[in-house]
């Protein structure tokens, strides 16, 4: 995953063009940028984080006021403890050099990671904001499942 993300952030001479697995991504082109967001969603899904493009857009819009390249860049490259960068480092530490699972990181990595906690909080807000996820109670109030 780390090598895939490093490829995703390798820029060409034009700062709005990046190379992702041999595919040129123009960050100013909406279709091309949607491909990049889909790639990030696919990576998160592959490590057990269920998220889709609509949910990612919600997080980027509400946290960074932007679901474009700037918002995605802040989401992935922020230096705070709740950014994606420390999470990527945890994923890189899950497997030892000999190919065995590092049990310490496997058990603590997800539960102690600020990124996972922050993502869970945003997903909770997203789910509560969706009318389809609410139920009408006996007192005619809307109730939402708390995760």
pLDDT tens for each residue of 24-40:
888 788 888 888 888 88
Q: Which DSSP category does 97 fall into?
A: T
| pTM score, whole prediction | 0.65
Tokens read off for 82 = 């709740």
Q: What is the mean pLDDT of the chain?
A: 74
pLDDT of residue 5: 47
CA gap 6, 75 in Å, rounded: 15
In angstroms, the CA 143 to CA 20 distance is 42
Res 8 pLDDT > 70: no
């Amino acid at each position: 995953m780390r090598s895939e993300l490093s490829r995703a952030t390798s820029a060409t001479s034009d700062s709005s063009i990046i190379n992702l697995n041999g595919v040129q991504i123009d960050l100013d082109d909406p279709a091309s940028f949607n491909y990049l967001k889909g790639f990030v969603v696919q990576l998160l899904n592959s490590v057990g984080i269920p998220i889709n493009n609509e949910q990612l857009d919600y997080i980027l819009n509400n946290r960074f006021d932007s679901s474009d390249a700037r918002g995605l860049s802040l989401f992935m490259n922020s230096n705070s403890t709740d950014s994606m960068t420390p999470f990527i480092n945890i994923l890189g530490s899950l497997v030892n050099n000999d190919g065995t699972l590092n049990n310490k990181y496997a058990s603590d990595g997800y539960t102690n990671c600020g990124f996972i906690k922050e993502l869970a909080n945003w997903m909770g807000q997203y789910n509560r904001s969706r009318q389809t996820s609410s139920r009408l109670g006996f007192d005619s109030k809307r109730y939402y499942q708390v995760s």
